Structure 1
Amino acid sequence: PAPAPAPSTTAAPPPPPTTSAARTPPRNTTTPRPTPPHDQCTEHPGKSYRLDWRSVGKTFFDDWSFMQTDFNNGAVDYLTREDAIADKVVEAHETHAILRTGSRSSKRYKRNSAKLRSNRAWTYMLMAMKFSHTPWGCGLWPAFWTHAPGWRWPEGGELDILEYVNDFPSQTSFHTGAKNKCTMDGGVVNMPYCQPMPDLNGMNYDCTTRYPKQLGCAPNKLPLWSPYEWAHNPSVIAVQWTERFIKVFVIPERDIPADLESDDPYPDGWDRWLVAWYPFALSNERRPGTCANPGKVMEPQNLIININFCGDWAGKVWPFSGSCVNRVGPQFPLQCRAVDPLLDWGPNRSSDDCCTQFIVDEEGKYGADEYLRERAYFNMSWIKVYKPTD
């Protein structure tokens, strides 16, 4: 995924718990369910969904490809399936699957990890991942995102569902290219009396991406969770993508609705857990031409999960990561510097970089192996994709 601008490092408290009484009721196939009266801030198309694909249990990784490409100049060596299994970077069990960082690579200034891409791609879907832990800590750049196969980024679209570095909080963001430019209307994103969702990329909801000036759009509900909070709040993260909009939900494990548990999901009733909302079609209806082809802002999308290190984002912002700089790794700026790989192509950029020195820890003096073993892993119960029934 593309690097995002550095947000505030202030850790936000987790959202207040909701009671079990607030759970969505089981699906009633004979009586239409009304939209909850408090959910008047977004669209509710009334779609029904059926299970189309899932990763679960000991076959969790069977329908994924292990990619070796890194476009973010990270201190990472993405392993093949065979090598990832051998280094215990991936493990599949009856009840859960693990994706973690591994040992130091045989390639200098690199550490082993994995980058998984689903073998299937979808147009319009409801996707959900149940997790009990996500990676957190210094030098880490974990991401769960989507990408259009066969398209040159940002054409084809990209949705960053979960992405953060070091101690910066996670935010969702969306990128589209010049062929399908799209600017959302702030008045539609933020309906009167509704929870505000500011564009945290500062682009005034312009999703068209062309670095370094155009960063894509990032409407997010505040407060954001810190990496520590993501790692310690088991939840479901879900995405509803229709021909008109994208919604992102984060549902605490204690509140997972019965309709999702029974694989008969009804996301119209999930807005209490909404964290991001991309109203492409409504924006274009209010201001014609601003998002002229809302149903094509994304081509068919693969799911991608990876854990990167340092590079274009985590390494560059090291001095602004309060729990990292001069707390782990070498001392900044006396013993290292924060390298921006997009600007510095010098021969010593890896050996000089604070983040890379800590993550690779060639001499074992920073305790990176134990640090990462305790923090740097996804623990996933399942990932499921549902398709509309109509």
Structure 2
Amino acid sequence: MFSPAWAAFASLLLPAAVLAQYNLVKEYAGQSFFDDWTFYNHFDNLTNGNVNFLGATDAFDDKLAFINEAGNAIMKVDNSSTLKFNQNRNSIRISTKDQFTVGSVWIADIRHVPYGCSVWGAFWSSAPTWPLGGEIDTFEAVNQDYYSHMGLHTNPGCTHSSDAVQSSKLINSTDCSVQANGNQGCIVSNPTPSSYGADFALTGGGVYVTEFAIDGISIWYFNRSSIPSVLQGNVSSINTQQLGIPVANWPADDCAINQFFQPQELVFDITLCGDYAGASSVFFETCTGVCYDDWVLGDPSHYDTAYFEVSYVRVYGQPGELTVLQGSSGRRSAEVQTVAALFLFALGSLYAFAQFL
């Protein structure tokens, strides 16, 4: 019999990555939530949505970003202005000033997510050198979707494994390449009925956990009534092995993490229409009319539900490891890693060529 005592002894022999023990290294919460985020301050030239992402000053002045009475961060779409043709609606896109390395976990307690026709909201992460450094979508959903989605976007060569250990059976696509299937990515739907929309709000939202580990990427979701005790309160350390089977999992066997991913910036954003929510094949699945004409230009109250309410985002790292690359120095570090990776690739190619000769 495999006794608990032997299990405890065996755990001492396992590497840190397998032990999955992480300590708190960064928290975004309360009145200081927005202090270490960068506001994009540009029209949506990234996904071709019909929004202007406001800079910090305008976002706070216009009350599109603020801390509510409950102490939670609100990020929302303008739901009061009547627009004229060719105008875009104001919205929010923020990214962390710091980047977080392989061997980290981020946890987001989210009370409300943006939803409604034309709405495309996401909580995700990306390397500054996208797509070279990869993208991890923890939460993404559009229009009146029944489910939210999780996924990866990478350079060619990364796929979702048929051996992935995960609870969701709703696998939308398996090729993570940005060059495949119109950059659909390798997407897994969250099968929890309350993972999006009005049901998410009515049930008090929930907690997302994303593990960015050398042996793979995993995402858990717990609705408000099922949050495990190990995630409740001011948790200073976590062990992801105590969280059970993740909703989605991308093992390194079919997607080498150190090859396809670099340190990640966390991102919240809400756009309207655009390449995904506005695509006719997607929009007409759950909505009617013309995305821009009937919704963006329509009654601004369409966007009364187009907001994030976030209690906190916490980042954890493995003991003794560098997890946080701070500000511009972190960006430079990522660039150095990119150059180093290209140099090593070139050396490997020269070596292979020499062997061939």
TM-score with structure 1 setting the length = 0.70
**Per-residue deviation, 1:131:** 1.3
Aligned to 1:384: 314
Which range moves more in the overlay, 302-311 or 249-258?
A: 249-258
Letter in structure 2 aligned against 1:358:
D
**Per-residue deviation, 1:383:** 0.6
Aligned to 1:371: 302
Deviations 1:314-335 (A, max 9, x none): 222377545531xxxxxx4xxx
Q: Does 1:359 align with 2:285?
A: no
Letter in structure 2 aligned against 1:121:
Q
Instruction: Provide the secondary structure at the position in 2 that maps to 1:164.
Output: strand
- 1:106 and 1:172, CA in 2 relative to 1: closer, same or farther beyond 3 A? same
- Select the residue among 129, 139, 142 that pairs with 2:121: 142
Instruction: Provide the secondary structure at the position in 2 that maps to 1:189.
Output: coil
Instruction: Provide the secondary structure at the position in 2 that maps to 1:312.
Output: helix
**Per-residue deviation, 1:49:** 1.2
Contact 1:280 1:294 (8 Å CA) reproduced: yes
**Per-residue deviation, 1:384:** 0.6
- 1:107 and 1:77, CA in 2 relative to 1: closer, same or farther beyond 3 A? farther
- Percent identity at matched positions? 28
Instruction: Provide the secondary structure at the position in 1 that maps to 2:275.
Output: helix
Instruction: Provide the secondary structure at the position in 1 that maps to 2:117.
Output: coil
- Residues in 2 aligned to 1:270 and 1:33: alpha-carbon distance in whole angstroms: 21
- Select the residue among 53, 56, 75 that pairs with 1:99: 75
- Residues in 1 aligned to 2:293 and 2:265: alpha-carbon distance in whole angstroms: 33
- Select the residue among 269, 285, 309 that pairs with 2:272: 309
Instruction: Provide the secondary structure at the position in 2 that maps to 1:83.
Output: helix
Aligned to 2:144: 167
- 1:377 and 1:184, CA in 2 relative to 1: closer, same or farther beyond 3 A? closer
- 1:360 and 1:34, CA in 2 relative to 1: closer, same or farther beyond 3 A? farther
Letter in structure 2 aligned against 1:382:
Y
Question: Over aligned residue pairs, what C-alpha RMSD do you find?
Answer: 2.8
Letter in structure 2 aligned against 1:139:
S
Aligned to 2:349: none
- Residues in 1 aligned to 2:10 and 2:301: alpha-carbon distance in whole angstroms: 51
- Residues in 1 aligned to 2:161 and 2:57: alpha-carbon distance in whole angstroms: 47
Letter in structure 2 aligned against 1:160:
D
Where does structure 1 differ by over 6 angstroms across 4 or more consecutive aligned residues?
none
- 1:316 and 1:241, CA in 2 relative to 1: closer, same or farther beyond 3 A? same
Higher strand share: 2
Q: Does 1:278 align with 2:214?
A: no
- Residues in 1 aligned to 2:281 and 2:67: alpha-carbon distance in whole angstroms: 33
- 1:107 and 1:321, CA in 2 relative to 1: closer, same or farther beyond 3 A? closer
5 Å-filtered alignment, 1:19-34, equals: 32=8
**Per-residue deviation, 1:33:** 10
- Select the residue among 62, 85, 89 that pairs with 1:87: 62
**Per-residue deviation, 1:34:** 9.7
Instruction: Provide the secondary structure at the position in 1 that maps to 2:60.
Output: helix
Q: Does 1:228 align with 2:204?
A: no
Instruction: Provide the secondary structure at the position in 1 that maps to 2:301.
Output: helix
User: What residue ranges of structure 2 are gaps of 5+ in the alignment?
Assistant: 1-6, 12-16, 321-357
**Per-residue deviation, 1:137:** 0.6
- Residues in 2 aligned to 1:231 and 1:296: alpha-carbon distance in whole angstroms: 38
- 1:357 and 1:240, CA in 2 relative to 1: closer, same or farther beyond 3 A? same
- Residues in 1 aligned to 2:220 and 2:73: alpha-carbon distance in whole angstroms: 22
Contact 2:161 2:250 (8 Å CA) reproduced: no
Instruction: Provide the secondary structure at the position in 2 that maps to 1:254.
Output: helix
Aligned to 2:287: 324
- Residues in 1 aligned to 2:9 and 2:271: alpha-carbon distance in whole angstroms: 43
- 1:206 and 1:33, CA in 2 relative to 1: closer, same or farther beyond 3 A? farther
Contact 1:195 1:221 (8 Å CA) reproduced: no
Instruction: Provide the secondary structure at the position in 1 that maps to 2:149.
Output: coil
Aligned to 1:259: 230
Contact 2:118 2:283 (8 Å CA) reproduced: no
Instruction: Provide the secondary structure at the position in 1 that maps to 2:19.
Output: coil
**Per-residue deviation, 1:223:** 5.6
- 1:316 and 1:280, CA in 2 relative to 1: closer, same or farther beyond 3 A? same
- Residues in 2 aligned to 1:300 and 1:183: alpha-carbon distance in whole angstroms: 20
Contact 1:133 1:378 (8 Å CA) reproduced: yes
**Per-residue deviation, 1:355:** 1.2
- 1:79 and 1:195, CA in 2 relative to 1: closer, same or farther beyond 3 A? closer
Letter in structure 2 aligned against 1:299:
Q
Contact 1:166 1:321 (8 Å CA) reproduced: no
Letter in structure 2 aligned against 1:64:
W
**Per-residue deviation, 1:72:** 1.2
